[in-house]
């Protein structure tokens, strides 16, 4: 399969995995605090990746470990914590919608901090996608006026971190295998995750014996293995096959999946949200469509 087809398969696979993550976070917060959920998610993911990808860590050179560590914190630990806290006050679907600011932020940070080329069609595409996201937020706010939208700032901050991380992966870690990057970053995070769990009393037998804690543990385990471990490997590979803007455009597709799960879980949904999802998909298409072959090339083939 060629790289162009493969990157679209990866994009939609990520949309399904990460779009499902928000409802799993919501279910995990029933038994855990945001801090515990974040640490547990990191620990389970780190152990799993350490088992399957430890050999790949050998590819990482000494100078690259700095970027691996930064990627771990701003690409996983901090954003996960911010989204977890956000979902204590706003719907999971709204949190996923705010996450769709990542492509625009990746484009801006790439131009300002990483000397990336300005491409007009990418800018137009992300702006259209952003308009669709704003419409989704407005629709959600009208349906849920009692939610605390000050907490909506947390997913935006997390999205800025994701944007920087995407550019770091593309600029400094492109030569390392996707599994190697994911494994290395989580191995660095494991001690911090363990410290948080010990500090918050997670390993207390009475705490773990609670029914709601055991149910939440199941949801967080699914979240860690699929929404974090598998998704991180796919995302890192997608970055290598394409670019930061294309890879982060998955965040325009995520709300469509998240809205579906939210609807099944009783979160309200209306036709304006459905139409806004269509605008988002249009933005993704425009931002990432292939250039048409120049007319003169076509003419030369005819001669």
**Distance from C-alpha of 278 to C-alpha of 280, rounded to nearest angstrom:** 5
Q: What is the count of structural domains for the chain?
A: 1
- CA proximity to 230, closest of 275, 182, 296: 182
**pLDDT over 80 at 151, yes or no:** yes
Q: What is the pLDDT of residues 92-149, one digit of tens each?
A: 877 887 887 787 788 788 888 887 777 787 788 878 877 887 787 777 667 777 777 6
The pLDDT of residue 288 is 64
**In a domain? residue 9:** no
Domain containing residue 261: 28-289
Give yes or no for a contact between 69 and 185, defined as CB atoms under 8 angstroms apart.
yes
**In a domain? residue 128:** yes
**In a domain? residue 44:** yes
Give yes or no for a contact between 101 and 116, defined as CB atoms under 8 angstroms apart.
no
**Distance from C-alpha of 151 to C-alpha of 87, rounded to nearest angstrom:** 8
**In a domain? residue 60:** yes
Q: What is the pLDDT of residues 30-64, one digit of tens each?
A: 999 999 999 999 999 999 999 999 999 988 999 99
**Distance from C-alpha of 166 to C-alpha of 51, rounded to nearest angstrom:** 25
């Amino acid at each position: 399969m060629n790289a162009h087809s493969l990157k679209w398969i990866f994009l939609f696979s990520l949309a399904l995995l990460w779009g499902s993550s928000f409802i799993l976070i919501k279910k995990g917060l029933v038994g855990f605090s945001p801090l515990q959920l974040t640490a547990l998610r990191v620990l389970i993911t780190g152990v799993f990746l350490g088992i399957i990808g430890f050999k790949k860590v050998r590819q990482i050179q000494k100078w690259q470990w700095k970027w691996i560590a930064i990627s771990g914190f701003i690409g996983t630990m901090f954003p996960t914590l911010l989204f977890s806290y956000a979902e204590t006050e706003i719907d999971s679907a709204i949190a996923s919608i705010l996450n769709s600011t990542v492509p625009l932020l990746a484009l801006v940070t790439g131009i300002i901090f990483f000397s990336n080329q300005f491409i007009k069609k990418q800018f137009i595409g992300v702006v259209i996608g952003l308009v669709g996201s704003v419409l989704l937020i407005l629709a959600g706010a009208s349906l849920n006026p009692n939610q605390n939208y000050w907490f909506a700032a947390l997913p935006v901050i997390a999205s800025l971190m994701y944007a920087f991380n995407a550019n770091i992966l593309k600029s400094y870690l492109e030569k390392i295998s996707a599994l190697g990057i994911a494994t290395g970053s989580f191995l660095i995070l494991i001690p911090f995750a363990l410290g948080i769990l010990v500090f918050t009393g997670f390993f207390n037998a009475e705490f773990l014996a609670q029914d709601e804690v055991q149910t939440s543990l199941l949801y967080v385990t699914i979240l860690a293995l699929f929404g974090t471990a598998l998704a991180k490997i796919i995302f890192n590979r997608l970055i290598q096959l394409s670019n930061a803007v294309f890879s982060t455009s998955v965040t325009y597709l995520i709300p469509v999946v998240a809205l579906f799960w939210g609807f099944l879980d009783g979160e309200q949904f209306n036709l304006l949200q459905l139409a806004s999802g269509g605008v988002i998909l249009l933005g993704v298409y425009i931002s990432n469509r292939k250039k048409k072959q120049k007319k003169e090339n076509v003419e030369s083939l005819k001669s």
